[in-house]
Amino acid sequence: MDNLNAIGLEKNQSEALVHELNKLLASYQVFYMNVRGFHWNIRGHQFFELHLKFEELYDDLILKVDELAERILTLGSTPLHSYADYLECSSIQPVKGAIDAKTTVESVLKAFQTLLIDQRSMLKQASEAGDEGTVAILGEYIKQQEKLVWMYSAYLA
């Protein structure tokens, strides 16, 4: 029993998964800040439509940030919580100066692609560890984001 954490998962596997979850948390934080900036700075005749869509998106992203941090805590570890750590660990890079519809939506699509790739890898890792809680979270994120990729791609078409 010494090799199990408080929720009955093998400690070494959970620690490896926490490492990946912290990287995912960092990516979500950077993505959140990017979308927040898009919301504030969007210009052009698509302003009203995208201003609202970006608000919907960042509202959802901040909920996911909280859920990921709480999952890390549930697994017995500590979530990253500084922007310096986020910038160091994130798979998504900060976007500066994006104000037009095409650039901002393309950035959103690129971020979703990055998240989907990372989450699918983590889904496999969580499944192998028997971590159904993390599997459920990641599966829901993937399902939702695949649909959003279709919708944002249709917007650009």
Please compute Rg for the chain using Cα positions. 17
pLDDT digits (tens, 9 = 90+) for 62-106: 999 999 999 999 999 999 999 999 999 999 999 999 999 999 999
Q: What is the overall mean pLDDT for the chain? A: 97
φ, ψ of residue 3 to 5 degrees: the values are: -90, 10
Residue 10 DSSP one-character state: B
48 lies in a domain? yes
CA distance 138 to 135: 5
DSSP per residue, 97-142: S--SHHHHHHHHHHHHHHHHHHHHHHHHHHHHTT-HHHHHHHHHHH
Full residue range of the structural domain in which residue 35 is found: 11-156
pLDDT at 126 (0 to 100): 98
CA distance 48 to 30: 24
Closest listed residue to residue 138, CA positions, set 108, 117, 152, 107: 117
CA distance 24 to 121: 11
pLDDT at 14 (0 to 100): 96
Is residue 33 pLDDT above 90, yes or no?
A: yes
pLDDT at 141 (0 to 100): 98
The half-sphere exposure of 49 on its side-chain side, counting CA atoms within 13 A, is: 9
114 lies in a domain? yes
- State how many domains the chain has: 1
84 lies in a domain? yes
79 lies in a domain? yes
pLDDT digits (tens, 9 = 90+) for 111-157: 999 999 999 999 999 999 999 999 999 999 999 999 999 999 999 99
91 lies in a domain? yes
**pTM, two decimal places:** 0.96
3 lies in a domain? no
The secondary structure element, H or E, covering residue 51 is helix 47-74
Q: What is the CATH number of the domain that holds 34?
A: 1.20.1260.10
2 lies in a domain? no
pLDDT digits (tens, 9 = 90+) for 41-61: 999 999 999 999 999 999 999
- For residues 43 and 100, the answer to whether their CB atoms sit within 8 Å is yes
